[in-house]
Structures are given as C-alpha cells and as structure tokens.
Structure 1
Amino acid sequence: MPQVLEFKLPDLGEGLTEAEIVRWLVEVGDVVAIDQPVVEVETAKAMVEVPCPYGGVVTARFGEEGTELPVGSPLLTVAVGSTEGDLPEDLSGKGADGAESSGNVLVGYGTGAPAARRRRVRPEAISAAAAPVAAPAPVPVTAPAPGPVAAPVPDEASGPVAVVSPLVRRLARQHDLDLRQLTGSGRDGLILRADVESAIMAAANGTAVAPSVPVPVSPPASRPAPVSAPVAGERIPLRGVRGAVADKLARSRRDIPDATCWVDADATELMAARAAMNGAGGPSAGPKVSVLALLARICTAALARFPELNSMVDLEAREIVRLPAVHLGFAAQTERGLVVPVVRDAQSRNAESIGAEIGRLTEAARTGTLTPAELTGGTFTLNNYGVFGVDGSTPIINHPEAAMLGVGRIVPKPWVHRGELAVRQVVQLSLTFDHRVCDGGTAGGFLRYVADCVEQPALLLRTL
C-alpha cells in the first residue's frame, strides 16, 4: 500500500545541531532513488549533500534556500510504494525483500550510493500515490508536514514556530512554555532567547505574556545609554562557518592562557633550496614544492624534538595529553570564511607529500567541498598570514590545540650576513603557545629550531 514518508534533517555528526539549506537538488514531483542526494546544506564545518533513505515521488519540500533548520526538522516528504506504473521498479524504494528505505543512518556524508537520474512524474500520479493514506497535498516550502498517519490537529497547535535556535526551544520546554503564544522580537518575528526569558519572568510574576516587541526607552540624561540598547547599523548574523569560528576563537581566548614569542629569520637559503628542488628533474619531476610545504615539514621535525607542543589539556582530568601523531592544520581564507583543513599524519610525510595534500585540501576549501572530517582533529596549526602582505601577528590558538606557528611575508631586508651588511630574504616567525603545557624555554627552543632550519635547511637532513 502506498505511503507518504517524512524525511527529517539527519544528525550530521561532529556535535552539529543545525544546518542551512544551500541548494535543493530535487523538486516536488521528481522521482528519487534510495540514497539519492536531495539537498545541499551548509553546516558550521562543511558543505554536505544529504541523501534521502526513501525511494519514491517527492510530494513536498520544507525550507527555502537560505533557511537554517535544526536537526530533526522535516526536509521533504516522499510517496513510497506507489501504484504499478507510476514508478520504475529500480526507483520504487523497495528491494528484493520489500524494504522501503536504505536503513542507513546518515551521519555527515550519507551512504555514498550513486545518484540516480531525476525523473518527473505527472501530478495526478502524485495524488494517486498519496490518496490511500490521506497524505497532505504539496504545500509551500515553509509549512511543516504532518506524518502520514497522524490525525489532523488544529492549526494553532501545529503551525510553524518562528524559532531557529535549539537552545531557545530547549529553554521553552524546560519551563513548559508554549512558543506559539509568543511574538518574536527578531527579524520577521523570529523568537529569540530574550523573548523566552521575558515570558518566563512574566509567568513567574503572574502577569500576562505580552508580545516581545522591543520598545525603545530613553535613558536618563545623567546616565549613559545601556549596553543592550539597540544599535543602528547593518546586522550580519554570526552563523555557519563564521559563527563557528567566532565561538571557537572566543573559547580559545577564554580557556587558554596563551603567550607569544617571535623571531626574525633569514630565509634566503630556504628559498634557494626550494628553487633547486623545483628545478631538478625538469618537467617530469612532479608538482613543485611550496614554501608552505617546506615550513610544514620543518614544523613536524620541530614537534618531534619538542612534543610538548603537540598536545592538549584535559581540564576535567587536569592532565596534559601528549599526542602520538601530528595532524597538521593550516589556515585557509575562503569566501565562506576562515577554515583550517588538516593534513593527517604529517609526521610520516615528506615535503612533497605534505605539499600535495595541502594542494588538495586548499582546492576543496576553495570550492566548499571540505568534509567535517577534513576540518577536525588537528593537533598543531600553521598560519601563513604573509599571503596578506603583513610581517607579523599574534595568532589565536586553534582550540583545543596547544600551539600555532605564524609566518609573515618573506621580503628583502638589510641583514648582517657573515659580518657584512647585505640584502637578504627575511621572514618573521611567531609562536603562540598554551603556557599550561610548557614554559618559555620549551617554546623558545621550538621556535629557534624552526628559525635555524629556515636559515640552514641542511639541518633537516638529520631527520629525513
């Protein structure tokens, strides 16, 4: 018998609680196969194509492109097990045993099954498929979809609620507060946390819950305007990648007692060594080695000597955890904001291998196809801010790591070389470190070794 099944936004892993709809890959009336990607969403970590576990006809979509939905919200409904002739056998959602879905729980990337060709069916076929279970007709994308067998309920109890944040919903549930009775003070009536807190206070005082519309109040002439007063100007939501970065940086500053040391280094010999590497062997020598790849290889050699900086702090256990592998992150600026892709097991790679992986991850960052797994798990970060034309910086540690090496631009400067003044290629290196994992002597030793390798690349031969 035909059924209309509701597919909800699945758990995308990595502790993510919401995602923004970037692009719908199917339309109402399309035929979809089991595990076919149906929507592209953006989380705080990556762009993800979400596959549907059902095969059938799309009867409704929920959420416009640009809408942010919490995990568990309806994405679309699919008419499964339609009458014979409406759906091809391979797209009907039924396997040899009659099962109507893949049974896979989607976490992050879907099931990896190949996407099937989209096929549109006539509207009357959709109605015929949905009719036996009294499923709702296709509705606007902003309306919620009741389950296929749910009894009808009054509009006031089942209508949409203008709430985006799961925290706001949880706060309301904890205080038995009906969000449908509130009028949000946010844009387009969005219910904010302040609205819920005001309603909770009103209920505690035994007063009626008034619509949470902000009313400007003129402060006394003798007092400055309160900090919470609305400020005129363009408002840009901190969400998606930018919001995740903001939260992580704030947590790093709050939790980590960081300190920074820096040194200038003569990079002339390093640049000459790179030129020699890339010039040897001719066109068949393979991809060129970048300066960033050489610096990454120097970092792995330095971390082998100073493992304290490849660690993290377990606050609950009050222990420093030294990590056996170096998963090297590198900062990359993209149109979506700052991301830090991670080169896995960098300690076992040479400069050429590290460079190839950096190139692959950089291209994925540029196109927005990095997976959450490629953006997490770093143990040390390399930040090349010299590409922005600046000499120095005091970088913020990428929580929960223990250190970050910053690299400025490499520029010609006057330098005393072998007792004489000369023009050399000079770079400023800065190390920000968690003072809980080591003292200044260890941090200084690490940075000095990095600078020595930059000035005398032959030192790396001992660890190659």
Structure 2
Amino acid sequence: MAQVLEFKLPDLGEGLTEAEIVRWLVEVGDVVTVDQPVVEVETAKAMVEVPCPYGGVVTARFGEAGTELPVGAPLLTVAVGEPEPDRPAAPGADGHRAPPAGAASTEAGSAASGGAGPATGAEDAGGEGSGNVLVGYGTSRAPARRRRVRPGPPAGANGRARAADPVDGPVPVISPLVRRLARQNGLDLRELTGSGPDGLILRADVEYALRAAAAQGRTATAPAGPRPGVEPAREAAGAAPAPQAGTAAPGAAPLTAAPGADGVRTPLKGVRGAVADKLSRSRREIPDATCWVDADATELMRARAAMNASGASTALNAAGAPKVSLIALLARICTAALARFPELNATVDTEAREIVRFDRVHLGFAAQTERGLVVPVVRDAHARNAESLTAEFARLTEAARTGALTPAELTGGTFTLNNYGVFGVDGSTPILNHPEAAMLGVGRITPKPWVHEGELAVRQVVQLSLTFDHRVCDGGTAGGFLRYVADCVEQPAVLLRTL
C-alpha cells in the first residue's frame, strides 16, 4: 500500500521567505527519484531547481507557473511505496490506464473546468539532477522527457471532442526567459518556427511574433500569470482577468482605470522586486551625497595596453589567460584607495546607532541583465591582483548574464564599483547599494581637449563620481578618496607605493 507524502517549499537560505514557480519539471503521474529536481522557482536572488526528497509517483501539484508561494507551502504530493495493481482502462479509453490515485481527481477536475490541467503543456521539461542546483538562462537543458499520452477528454457541449494533450516533448527555446516572455503575452510557442539551430526558438522569434500579432490587432495585455490560473468562468466568457492588487508598477495607471486605458503593467516581483525594495530602502534611510572629478585616463589606458602587450609572449598568456580588463584595474585602484580611507568600507547599524567598519573589501559591481540590475560580489578583492580580478569579473559577469548567480554571490558586498560608462554616459548620481556606505561611479572614457603639461592636447578623459553615506564621513574624507582614485587613474605609478 503506497503512502502519500507531502513535499513543501524548503527554506532556500539568505533570509528568503517566498519564491515564484517558473515551470514544473514533472507532471502528475510521473515517477520521480530521490533528489530529482521537480520544479524551477525564482527567488529574489536567483533561479533555483528544487529537488524532491522522496521517490515515488507524483499524485498532485500545488500552484501553476507564475504562482508565488511562501516557504513551507505545499509543492506536491508523492505516493511512496508499493503501488496498487493497475486496473483495466474503461472501454473507449484507447487502451490507456487510469492515472494513480490523487492524479485522477486533479486531472478530472481540470477537464471539467475546461482548464489545461496540472501539466504546463509546452513548458514541461525533465532531466536528472542532484541537490539544490542553481540554474540560469543559458545553462544546458536536460534531455527532453516524452510526456504521457492521456485519454481523450469528453465531448463538449457542442458535441465536438476537445483536442488531446500533445504527445511530443517540450518546445525547444534558447532560455527560460524566452519561455516566460511568451507565457506573459499569451503566445503559444508551439505555433512558432524557431530560427535557431535545429529549430531552436530565440527571443527574436518571440518578439517578432508579438509585433506581428500587435499589427493585426490581435494582441491584448497579457496577465502576469499563465492562462491556466484564470478563473474558469471568466476564461469561458473571454473576459480579461481581474487585475491583482499590488502588481502595478510605479507610475502606472491606477487599478481603477477605465477599460481600454493605455499602459502595460509589470509586476514588481522576483529579482526586479528585490531591487526595487532595496533602492527604496536606501533612499529612505541613507543621507547620501555625491562628488565628482574629471581625470585624464590616457596613461591608465597606455599602462593596460603595455600589460597585455608584454604578456602576450609569455607562457601564461599563450595558454589562453585573458587580458587584463579595465574594470579590473579600476577595482585594484578602489581597493588601494579603501586601504587609505577605510571609513568608506563600512555600513551604519541604525538600530545600534554604530558605524561598522570592515577589514575586508568585498567589491560589488553593477551588472545590467535581461532580468534587471544585479550586483555580483568579488570576495576579498583587496587580496587579488589584476589578473585574478579580471578572471573573477569575467566569471561573475557570465553568471549574471545567464542567471546562474548564487545567493551568496549576490550578497555581502562592502563597496560597489559602478561602471555606467558602458552605456555611453559621462556621469551619474546613483543610489547607494544598501547597506553599503559608498559607491564609485565611472563614466565613459572619451577623447576630449585637455591641458597637458601646459599645452592643449586631445586626451582620454573620464568622469569619476563618489556617492557616499554622509553619516560615515564628511566631505573631506570623500574628496580625499576620490582625488586619490583620480591620481591613480592619471598616474598609475602612484599605485606602486601601496603594492
């Protein structure tokens, strides 16, 4: 006799209290093994595959893609132990056996309501895995799992039978981000032909299909969640789902706006919601100030070129070592400046009314991704040389791009380096990354007229800014820090004094 066990959303660490279901990796009726990933969820930190500690048959799932669940909420139930003997299928069922106990009631209820059932259709994928595996948008996909063919549903009121579930595997897409984009806009990926290798559906394919649908007047604002979550009565009537409280983005039209009003609502949840909360808290709690200075970066650029040119013939670089990056040199300058002005490598404990100064530099850097702004952290940046910093920046940037950053790699920073020059802008007054006390901003490096050695010349000029918590230091300390950074940019040999 099988025993039905309930698997709840586990504690994902780092103080996370909830997660959003991105996609199910198993269906009701599937056989799972111990520690097999069963669902992919998105927290405020990362995308996580959650493994099930039980082995058996999935009898029920709780929540569809887009549903937010608190830690401890039921995810699914699994029948563990010796299953009951299969009973012969009813006549007309095309020889298929009935699903296990628990699954029948779930699927039958879904069919009666006209919904898509517990399965997520084209979004299902499977594969073996182990442990709390953090996955990203660009990680390799597990082998596609063939879905079970279910008995055909009963005929509808008009006498015509509804279409049976597709028997093929999940639609191949280049990333879950593409799958989510299609889901949020009500687009069926099975109707698309991918332009990627072997028919892989790219983001450009989905965006093209959405533009084509909009041009034909067939596209409406899609709900934040998937279609199966819509109330059956509203679905049957073709009415738009009622907006949910708390999902309007800042500046969006109020929830009481008249039907047909322009505007697209984007829920502030997941990574984007966490960033919004942190920025709002920073602006509320931290009395920040910003100072800036222009610096001649010509010598720094020459020094970097000389480093990479001189190392091109060494055995290390011949073996494929990456060239020293500009951001790594700027990070090295930051750590040297923080050694001279440690007041800025700190935070304020508001409850204890104390300034906490750190003896290690965990350097965060702002990275813009398709999921929003994230700040990966380079641990012990003060103990790394330029080559080590280059390698770590490259690794974390790729992990940020693919969505594979772990919660530990996104927390614990003590100072942030914000290279907004990559966006082609000269200056900025950013909001501090709470609870840090300072952030160095670097604009684009561009040729400008500059007085050099008493003569007007064209030099590579960059604008540097320092945003700081005025509670941890005054303008003199902040100005001294920024001036030292500018001196190192203009004369890299200044760094030799601290090496």
Q: Scaled by the length of structure 2, what TM-score is found?
A: 0.66
3-state SS of 1:365 partner: helix
- Counterpart position of 2:380: 345
- Structure 1, 71-80 or 290-299: larger mean CA deviation: 71-80
CA 1:123–1:64: 2 relative to 1, 3 Å: farther
| Corresponding residue for residue 251 of structure 1 | 281
Could you give the per-residue CA deviations for residues 295-324 of structure 1, whole angstroms, max 9, x where no partner exists?
011101111111100000011111000011
Quick one: which amino acid aligns to residue 461 of structure 1? L
User: What amino acid is aligned across from residue 427 of structure 1 in structure 2?
Assistant: V
Mapped contact 1:311–1:379 kept (Cα < 8 A): yes
The residue number in structure 1 matching 2:409 is 374
The structural deviation recorded for 1:239 is: 1.1
Question: Which range is displaced more, 291-300 or 57-66?
Answer: 57-66
Q: What is the aligned partner in structure 2 of residue 31 from structure 1?
A: 31
Q: Which runs of 5+ in 2 are unaligned?
A: 87-94, 111-115, 119-239, 248-252
Which structure 2 residues correspond to residues 284-299 of structure 1 after superposition, within 5 A? 284-285=316-317, 286-299=321-334
Equivalent-residue separation in structure 2 for 1:193 and 1:360 (angstroms): 36
**Counterpart residue type for residue 467 of structure 2:** T
Aligned counterparts of 2:459 and 2:242: Cα–Cα separation in 1: 61
For the structure 1 residues 22 and 227, does the alpha-carbon distance in structure 2 shift closer, same or farther, using more than 3 Å as the test?
closer
Q: What is the match of residue 241 of structure 1?
A: 271
Deviation readout 1:244-299 (Å, 9 max, x if unpaired): 11111111110000000000000001101111111123264221111111101110
Cα deviation, residue 456, structure 1: 0.7
Amino acid at match of 1:344: R
Specify the SS of the correspondent of 2:37.
strand
- Aligned residue type for 2:74: P
Q: Residue 397 of structure 2 corresponds to which residue in structure 1?
A: 362
CA positional deviation for 1:71: 2.2
For residues 428 and 350 of structure 1, the distance between their equivalents in structure 2, rounded to whole angstroms, comes to 24
What is the root-mean-square deviation of aligned Cα atoms in Å? 2.6
Cα distance, 1:142 vs structure 2: 7.8
Preserved contact between residue 29 and residue 123 of structure 1 (Cα < 8 Å): no
3-state SS in 2 of match to 1:430 = strand
User: Do the aligned residues in 1 keep the contact of 2:59 with 2:103 (CA within 8 Å)?
Assistant: no
**Post-superposition offset of 1:83:** 3.9
Corresponding residue of 2:174? none
How far, CA to CA, are the matches of 1:256 and 1:142 in structure 2? 49
Are the counterparts in 2 of residues 293 and 358 from structure 1 also a CA contact under 8 Å? yes
Q: 1:64 to 1:123 in 2, by over 3 A?
A: farther
Which residue is equivalent to 1:389?
Answer: 424
Cα pair 1:24 1:65 within 8 Å, conserved: yes
Task: Name the SS of the counterpart of 2:301 in structure 1.
Answer: helix
Change over 3 Å in CA distance of 1:360–1:420 after alignment to 2: same
Q: Which of 351, 368, 377 is the aligned partner of 1:316?
A: 351
Q: Which of 470, 476, 481 lines up with 1:435 in the alignment? A: 470
Partner of 1:264: 294
The answer to whether the 8 Å contact 2:18/2:69 transfers is yes
Aligned residue in 2 for 1:49: 49
What SS does the corresponding residue of 1:282 show, helix, strand or coil? coil
Indicate the residue corresponding to 2:60 in structure 1: 60
Partners of 1:193 and 1:338 lie apart in 2 by: 21
The corresponding residue for 1:209 is none
**Are 1:281 and 2:316 counterparts?**
no
In the TM superposition, what are the counterparts of 1:58-457 in structure 2 within 5 Å? 58-83=58-83, 127=100, 130=101, 137-139=105-107, 140=110, 188-189=241-242, 192=245, 230=257, 232=261, 233-282=263-312, 284-285=316-317, 286-457=321-492
Amino acid across the alignment from 1:46: A
C-alpha separation in 2, matches of 1:261 and 1:376? 26
280-289 or 1-10, which deviates more: 280-289
Distance in 1 between residues matched to 2:25 and 2:400, nearest whole Å: 21
Amino acid at match of 1:274: R
- 8 Å CA contact 2:282–2:432 kept in 1: the answer is yes
Change (3 A) 1:54 1:123: farther
- Mapped partners of 1:447, 1:350: distance in 2: 21
Q: Which residue of 2 aligns with 1:198?
A: none
Q: State the AA in 2 paired with 1:55.
A: G
Aligned to 1:12: 12
Identity of matched residues, %:
81
Q: Distance in 1 between matches of 2:452 and 2:58?
A: 72
**Residue type of the partner of 1:342?**
V
Secondary structure, counterpart of 1:288 in structure 2: coil
State the AA in 1 paired with 2:405. Answer: L
Query: 1:4 and 1:123 mapped to 2: Cα distance?
Result: 23
Residue type matched to 1:454 in 2? V
C-alpha contact 2:3 2:81 (8 A) present in aligned 1: yes
Matches of 2:448 and 2:17 in 1, distance apart?
A: 50
Unaligned 5+ runs, structure 1: 87-121, 144-186, 195-225
**Code of the aligned partner of 2:495:** L
> Which residue identity lines up with residue 17 of structure 2 in the other structure?
T
Q: Secondary structure at the match of 1:252?
A: helix
Amino acid at match of 2:417: L
Alignment-mate amino acid for residue 359 of structure 2: P
Looking at structure 2, the residues matched to 26 and 67 of structure 1 have their Cα atoms a distance apart, in angstroms, of 16
Distance, in Å, in 2 between the alignment partners of 1:123 and 1:310 is 66
C-alpha deviation, 1:371, in angstroms: 0.8
Contact 1:56 1:79 in 2 (8 A): yes
- Displacement of 1:2: 1.5
TM-score (norm 1): 0.71
Give the residue type in structure 2 aligned to 1:56.
G
CA distance 1:135–1:243, change in 2 (3 Å): closer
